[in-house]
Every structure is written in C-alpha cells, then in structure tokens.
C-alpha cells in the first residue's frame, strides 16, 4: 500500500479553474501571481497542474492585503518574511489597529421613505447624490430602496440643521469644508505623535514585538485625539459665539459683563505672534498720554473712532464713561459729570480695534489706563520715595495733583 493511500487527511487537490472559483481570483490573475513569485508553483502531474490548500490560503491572504491598500511589491516582501518563518501577526495587528473604525458608532440602514419623512420636501435626488458622494449615505446594491448610514450621528446633525432652515446643499458644502479642516487637524496630530512617540518604530522593518507595542499605543491614543478635539471645539465655540453675541447685540446697549474664557488670551497672543502664519501685527497696549504742562491743546482736525460710543452718540459717552477720539494724544476736556474725552493716535485706535472690536474699544482703553494708574499707586505703596524718582503725569490720580 502506498504512503499516499494511507494518509487519512490528504490536502484537497484543485485544477486552476477550480482554484480560481474558490478564491475569487481569475485564472489570468493566478498565473500572474505565479510569474511574480507571489504564489508557489503548482505540482506538475502529467500534463496537468495540481494546486492545494496552501495555494488557496495564499490567494486569500493576498486579496486581504490588497484590500488594505498594500501594493503587490509590499505583499511579496511580507509573504517572503512569512515563508522565512517570521511571525507577521504583530504587523497585521498594527495594520488592523490603524485601519479599523476609530469610533464605536454602529452603522444603520435607512429607506427612501424614512429619509423623506425626516427631511420633508427639501429632499430630492440632487441632495441624495451629494450625500452619497460625501459618504453620508451608501447605496445597498441588493436593496435599491435602502441606504447604509455609516454615521447616524452625522445624519442626525443634518436633520436638525435642515429643520432649522439650512438647505441640504448648503449642509453638504459645509461638510466638505469641515472635512478639509478636520483632516488638516488629523495630519497635525499624526505629525506630532510621530515626532515624539512613533519615530522609534520607523526607518526599519518593525519586529513583531515592536509592531504589537505600536498597535497598543495607537489604540490608547485613539480616544485621546477625540477628547482633545472635543475639548478644544467646545472652548472655541464658546469663545466665538460669545464674541459674535457681543458684537451684534452690544451696539444696542450694554450687555452683562462676560466672564473671561479660558484660553482666549493665549489665542490672541498666538495669532499676533510673529511666528504664527498670516499673523497680524501684535497690537500694543494703548495708553492715553496727557499733554505736557502748559502745552496747547490739540488743534488739528480729528475724527471719532468709527463705531465707538463717542462716534455714534457725540458728547454722550455714558456707555463706558469715557470718550475716545483719534488725534495726536491728550485730554480734550471734561464735562459736567467728570467724564473726559481723550484723543489717541490713529494707529493706536486701529490696533485696539483689531484686538477687541469696535464695540469694546472705549472700555478697553479705559481699563488699560485704570490698570496703569493702579500699578503706579501700588509702586508708591511699596516704595515710599517712588514719587520722587518717577512722578506721574499731571492730572493722574496718585501724584498729589489729582487726589
């Protein structure tokens, strides 16, 4: 009895046509893989080629790697390492850690009728095409009346915006713009973590242990990226929404004092930093210098700061208690209530306007002056003879002439 006849679990044998049918590859593709060294040569038996389960397994592995985006050259290197006895489980685990969904959200299905119910008359074929192009909806080939919804949360946002009056095509345009900005943030986060964490795994084929370690780090970092973005978006939305509210409603009257928003000052500093891209010139803290004793008042024509309370209500600077005008600098006069109208250089006003906006210019300048006065008073309290060394400008409280 031959050895082959007593082997109870001999590997099944396939002709090339049957191998193609079982693997999903074409006969031409199988032969091309053989020519490129990706697939072992079959056993020659008479005039026929015989393939076994190892060939089927190899074809399935090649197909899986192709779906993950590997090129045939890269696949050949991986398979060569596999054939040499190297364990690729860590490398494939690393690939899976990167390529698997980065969210726990579960995809759902929705029908045309359900879409129409949610979006009403605003739903048309053009809007659906936009949603499919953006991947918000995915057609289901076996069910033409249904769509796959990869992110039900994103679809719910679109429903709420449309119910509030936003056209569907405008929502699609906004999603495109938002994706570009978010992908830029993702690039920056990846560059940042690569530089400080993952650089050690680059530049050489990772060992199985290194690949497993990198995969573990990626799974730890995935929620961190989402948490950081959520926190910064919440802070930025509060900052920008508050600014818009005060800009639009502040013109109709004073609003309640707004508490400082964490990070707002650092944001302004980063925007005005010389190293920041497209950063405007850093605004200097404005002050209101007084005219030297005995100097004549400002006589050249002056204009009020556009949009300031003094410009909109001449002579009635009651909004902040201070009037601001553009000029060469100096106190223009004091009304019966003790409110002063102060002239400042045009350049100073322009920088203040860039920093805080039209509505808050007068309040900002008044606060800057008050802070300077308080600082000088504290200096005098700490150093009794400071007044002799650094006298205050005439008329500023604290020098003895205005207290």
What pLDDT is recorded for position 386?
44
What pLDDT is recorded for position 286?
41
Average the pLDDT over 105-133 and give the result: 93
Rounded CA-CA distance 386/375 in Å is 12
Say which residue, 287 or 347, is predicted with more confidence. 347
Four-way CATH pick for 11-86: 3.30.300.30, 3.40.50.720, 1.10.1670.10, 1.10.1660.10:
1.10.1660.10
pLDDT digit string, tens, across residues 362-377: 788 878 877 877 777 7
Rounded CA-CA distance 30/55 in Å is 10
pLDDT digit string, tens, across residues 35-62: 988 998 898 888 888 999 989 989 988 9
Q: Is 317 exposed, middle or buried (0-12, 13-18, 19+ CB in 10 A)?
A: buried
What pLDDT is recorded for position 79?
82
What pLDDT is recorded for position 172?
95
Say which residue, 292 or 121, is predicted with more confidence. 121
**pLDDT confidence tier of residue 360, bands split at 50, 70 and 90:** confident
What pLDDT is recorded for position 264?
61
Q: Which three-class secondary structure state does DSSP give residue 11?
A: coil
Q: Which three-class secondary structure state does DSSP give residue 1?
A: coil
Backbone angles phi, psi at 269, to 5 degrees: -65, -40
What pLDDT is recorded for position 117?
94
pTM: 0.50
Q: What is the percent of the chain with per-residue pLDDT over 70, rounded to a whole number?
A: 69
Average the pLDDT over 140-152 and give the result: 93
Say if residue 339's pLDDT is above 80: no
The answer to whether residues 341 and 317 touch, using CB atoms and an 8 Å cutoff, is yes
Average the pLDDT over 17-41 and give the result: 91
What pLDDT is recorded for position 91?
75
The answer to whether residues 16 and 27 touch, using CB atoms and an 8 Å cutoff, is yes
Say if residue 277's pLDDT is above 50: no
**pLDDT confidence tier of residue 233, bands split at 50, 70 and 90:** very high
Residue partners of 84: CB distance under 8 A and separation at least 6: none
What pLDDT is recorded for position 236?
93
Q: Identify the CA nearest to 376 among candidates 363, 395, 360.
A: 395
Highest mean pLDDT among 76-90, 212-226, 372-386: 212-226
**DSSP string covering 218-285, please?**
HHHHHHHHHHHHHHHHHHHHHHHHHHHHHHHHGGGSPPPPPPPPTTHHHHHHHHHSTTSTTPPPPPPP
Residue partners of 264: CB distance under 8 A and separation at least 6: 239
Rounded CA-CA distance 243/229 in Å is 21
The answer to whether residues 346 and 362 touch, using CB atoms and an 8 Å cutoff, is no
The answer to whether residues 341 and 331 touch, using CB atoms and an 8 Å cutoff, is yes
Q: How many CB atoms lie within 10 A of CB 114?
A: 13
Q: Is 274 exposed, middle or buried (0-12, 13-18, 19+ CB in 10 A)?
A: exposed
What pLDDT is recorded for position 173?
95
Domain ranges in the chain?
11-86, 303-389
Rounded CA-CA distance 77/60 in Å is 16
pLDDT digit string, tens, across residues 252-269: 777 776 666 666 655 555
Bridge-partner residues for 323, per DSSP?
A: 341
What pLDDT is recorded for position 140?
93
Say if residue 323's pLDDT is above 70: no
Averaged pLDDT of the chain: 75
Say if residue 65's pLDDT is above 60: yes
pLDDT digit string, tens, across residues 71-106: 888 788 778 877 766 666 777 788 778 878 888 899
């Amino acid at each position: 009895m031959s050895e082959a006849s007593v082997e109870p679990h001999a590997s099944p044998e396939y002709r090339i046509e049957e191998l193609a049918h079982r693997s999903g590859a074409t006969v031409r593709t199988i032969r091309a893989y053989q020519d490129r060294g990706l697939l072992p040569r079959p056993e020659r038996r008479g005039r026929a080629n015989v393939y076994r389960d190892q060939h089927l397994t190899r074809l399935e592995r090649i197909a899986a790697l192709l779906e993950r985006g590997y090129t045939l050259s890269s696949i050949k290197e991986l398979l060569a390492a596999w054939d040499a006895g190297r364990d690729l489980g860590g490398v494939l685990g690393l690939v899976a850690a990167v390529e698997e969904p980065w969210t726990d959200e579960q995809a759902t299905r929705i029908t045309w009728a359900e879409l129409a119910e949610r979006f009403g008359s605003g739903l048309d074929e053009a809007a659906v095409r936009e949603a499919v192009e953006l991947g918000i909806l995915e057609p289901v080939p076996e069910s033409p009346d249904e769509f796959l919804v990869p992110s039900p949360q994103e679809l719910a946002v679109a429903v709420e915006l449309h119910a509030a009056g936003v056209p569907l095509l405008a929502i699609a345009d906004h999603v495109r713009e938002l994706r570009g900005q978010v992908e830029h943030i993702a690039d920056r986060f990846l560059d940042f973590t690569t530089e400080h964490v993952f650089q050690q795994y680059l530049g050489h084929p990772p060992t199985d242990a290194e690949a497993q370690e990198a995969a573990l780090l990626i799974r730890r970092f995935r929620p961190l990226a989402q948490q950081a973005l959520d926190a910064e978006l919440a802070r930025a939305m509060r900052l920008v929404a508050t600014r818009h509210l005060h800009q639009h409603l502040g013109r109709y009257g004073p609003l309640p004092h707004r508490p400082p928003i964490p990070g707002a000052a650092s944001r302004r500093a980063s925007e005005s930093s010389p190293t920041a891209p497209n950063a405007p010139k850093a605004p200097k803290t404005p002050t209101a210098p007084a005219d030297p004793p005995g100097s004549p008042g400002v006589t050249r024509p002056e204009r009020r700061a556009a949009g300031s309370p003094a410009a909109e209500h001449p002579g009635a600077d009651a909004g902040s208690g201070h009037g601001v005008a553009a000029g060469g600098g100096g106190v223009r006069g004091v009304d019966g209530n003790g409110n002063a109208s102060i002239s400042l250089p045009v350049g100073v006003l322009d920088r203040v306007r860039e920093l805080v906006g039209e509505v808050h210019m007068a309040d900002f300048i008044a606060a800057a002056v008050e802070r300077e006065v308080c600082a000088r008073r504290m200096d005098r309290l700490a150093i009794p003879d400071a007044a002799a060394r650094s006298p205050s400008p005439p008329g500023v409280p604290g020098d003895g002439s205005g207290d």
